[in-house]
A = this chain, B = another copy of it.
Amino acid sequence: MTKHHVKGWQAIQDEVLRRIHAREWPPGHVIPNEVDLAQEFGCARATVNRALRALAEEGLLDRRRKAGTRVALHPVTRATVDISVIRQEIEERGQHYDYRLLACDAASPPAPVRATLGAGSSLHVTALHSGDGAPYVFEDRWISLKTTPDARSADFTGISANEWLLAHAPYTHGDIAFSAEAASAQDASLLNTAEGAPLFVVTRTTWDHDCAVTAVRLAYAPGYRIYTRIGAQSDSAG
């Protein structure tokens, strides 16, 4: 109930974080409501709301009307992975970007792809992205010509389908999967590794509203890893 008169919503967030961290408010504990906290901190309720809402978005607090705010029981670690354009990704590593189109044909996609992309005619684009001359990632992509007819006349020799779509084909949502796969003969040949070598693979499908735009498999050369930081804030180790 002491007045602290801290500086802003971040200071309030820090203090709440400290109490969670110090187990003054253990997991499951219902913390004081916004009005009380606002009084304690000597600020407006909106400021408290801003601080607590941010923590709730990170998964540290559970907030429900009437039930109040409680410290999350199972502090899920929420890792945010930024996925940029491949060219940018390579250049950010300080390497020279090189791109080579392997094939670009209208074709009927295999069943698993057809299931999401639809049965309409599709464009199959394969390409290899390299950094400083070393193969970096093999892009195997299907583009729905029904959703993106312009792709038929696009020239993917100068610009990768990855970037072309970014500039020409908006999407509303998508899904991504990360997995480990054994290199196929094609993977191995292109990525300059042995068949069966463990590859980090990203599979992505994007939609524009209800229409699938593109489905892509990105097979990265051995040694690739996605790295990210978690919690500038608090949690519990696990």
Contact = CB atoms under 8 A, between A and B. Distances in A.
Binding site secondary structure of chain A: strand
Given A171-B236, A177-B228, 15 more contacts: A79-B80, A165-B236, A167-B236, A173-B230, A173-B231, A173-B233, A174-B231, A175-B228, A175-B229, A176-B227, A176-B230, A180-B201, A180-B224, A182-B198, A197-B198
A97 to B, nearest CB: 14
A59 interface: yes
Interface string A211-236: 00110000010101111111111111
B178 A178 contact: yes
A74 to B, nearest CB: 6
A118 B27 CA distance: 29
A115 interface: no
Nearest to A166: B238
A86 to B, nearest CB: 8
A233 to B, nearest CB: 7
Most chain B C-beta atoms within 10 Å of own C-beta, residue among A176, A198, A208, A233: A198
A235 B182 contact: no
A67 interface: no
Interface residues of A, number: 64
Given A80-B79, A80-B80, A81-B79, A234 B180 contact: no
A173 B76 contact: no
A233 B169 CA distance: 14
Nearest to A235: B171
A124 to B, nearest CB: 16
B180 A199 contact: yes
Contacts of A238: 85, 162-163, 165-166
Contacts of A175: 227-230
Contacts of A172: 21, 231, 233-234
9 contacts: A79-B80, A79-B81, A79-B83, A165-B237, A171-B237, A174-B229, A177-B228, A180-B201, A180-B220
Nearest to A82: B76
B170 A234 contact: yes
